[in-house]
Amino acid sequence: MSYKVVIDSCGELSEEMRESGCFVNVALTIQVDGHTIIDDETFDQADFLERAAKSPNCPKSACPSPEAYKNAFDCGADRVYAVTLSAELSGSYNSAVLGKNMFLEEHPEKKAHVFNSCSASIGETLVGLKIRECEEAGMPFEKVVETVEEYIAEKRTYFVLESLETLRKNGRLSTMKAFLATALKIKPVMQGTRNGTIEPLAQVRGINKALVRMVDLVVEQVEHTEDKILAISHCNCPQRAQMVKDALLARIRVKDVLVLDTRGISSLYANDGGIILAI
């Protein structure tokens, strides 16, 4: 039986994943002062970051329609899985569920499931890779769903942001707090919770110290790393991503490493200089 993994465009795909034919992105869109950006292969990160920096308003994102998901499910595969960013952060999951239901009404002989990644960005990527691992191991559909749901519950995602401007613009941080944090060079270290929300873990002065603190937290909190993939996405800061990778590999063993640049939605949330890590 054939299968396909649909991942909303908040999840980055490596070149190998694209070439494998197993994965496909469904695009979210971003609005910056009336300008629409489609988060697909045409996304220009440099142009987006420039537009976002110049705008006094927070860019707004819109999830794919149920029809877009239905069309993605209707790919000719016998088993189709979708992975979306956290349902607590976006309507993408609910839209994917509606699209799946529409698809199954027309194709009741097919099998389909939507995974709420309870994460974002590179965390979604890892879920997609886990699905492929299970499929290639020959698991039946129901066992794939069970195994991947367990994996999602155990996976950890961490964030360090260079800038708090997006949080300020979207009202999640007051102007005064953002100003004080910027003036004092305070950088938050955050993690995705088990239910898909984001919570702060630490506030550290200086980006490098924040990254070191994030590395410390991974070492302290993540068990059995030798069986896990270390995945890092960065927004326009490959040297920082390399620093985090090297620092972690000096202290833990992992099964594999994946480092990717952020796509549109991840760039919106991470902002220029942001680092996202999942393991």
* pLDDT value, residue 183: 45
Tokens (6 digits) for 156: 């950890």
From 55, 115, 143, 124, select the one nearest 263 (Cα to Cα): 124
89-123 pLDDT per residue, tens: 899 999 999 999 999 999 999 999 999 999 999 99
DSSP structure class, residue 27: -
pLDDT, tens digit only, all 279 positions of the chain: 599 999 999 999 999 999 999 999 999 999 999 999 999 999 999 999 999 989 988 899 999 999 999 999 999 999 999 999 999 989 999 999 999 999 999 999 999 999 999 999 999 999 999 999 999 999 999 999 999 999 999 999 999 987 665 655 555 444 444 434 454 467 888 898 888 888 888 888 889 999 999 999 999 999 999 999 999 999 999 999 999 999 999 999 999 999 999 999 999 988 899 999 999
Amino acid identity, residue 211?
L
d(CA 215, CA 271): 20
* pLDDT value, residue 269: 86
66-73 and 92-106 are packed helices; what angle lies between their axes, rounded to 10 degrees?
A: 50
227-265 pLDDT per residue, tens: 999 999 999 999 999 999 999 999 999 999 999 999 999
Residues near 89 by beta carbon (within 8 Å), at least 6 away in sequence: 120, 196, 197, 198
DSSP 166-232: HHHHTTSS-HHHHHHHHHTTEEEEEEE-TTS-EEEEEEEESHHHHHHHHHHHHHHH---GGGSEEEE
> Rounded to the nearest 5 degrees, what angle is found at the Cα of 23, between the Cα atoms of 2 and 245?
135
Please, are residues 157 and 268 in contact by the beta-carbon 8 Å criterion?
A: no
Amino acid identity, residue 234?
H
* pLDDT value, residue 177: 46
* pLDDT value, residue 164: 61
* pLDDT value, residue 201: 87
Question: What is the residue whose two structure tokens read 């993408």?
Answer: 92
Task: Read off φ and ψ for residue 145, nearest 5 degrees.
Answer: -60, -45
Spans of all domains in the chain: 3-28+63-154, 157-278
* pLDDT value, residue 178: 42
In CATH, what class is 157-278?
Answer: alpha beta
d(CA 85, CA 49): 21
Answer whether 3-28+63-154 and 157-278 agree in fold: no
Question: What is the residue whose two structure tokens read 């979207």?
Answer: 170
Considering the domain 3-28+63-154, what is its CATH architecture?
3-Layer(aba) Sandwich (3.40)
d(CA 225, CA 219): 9
* pLDDT value, residue 227: 95
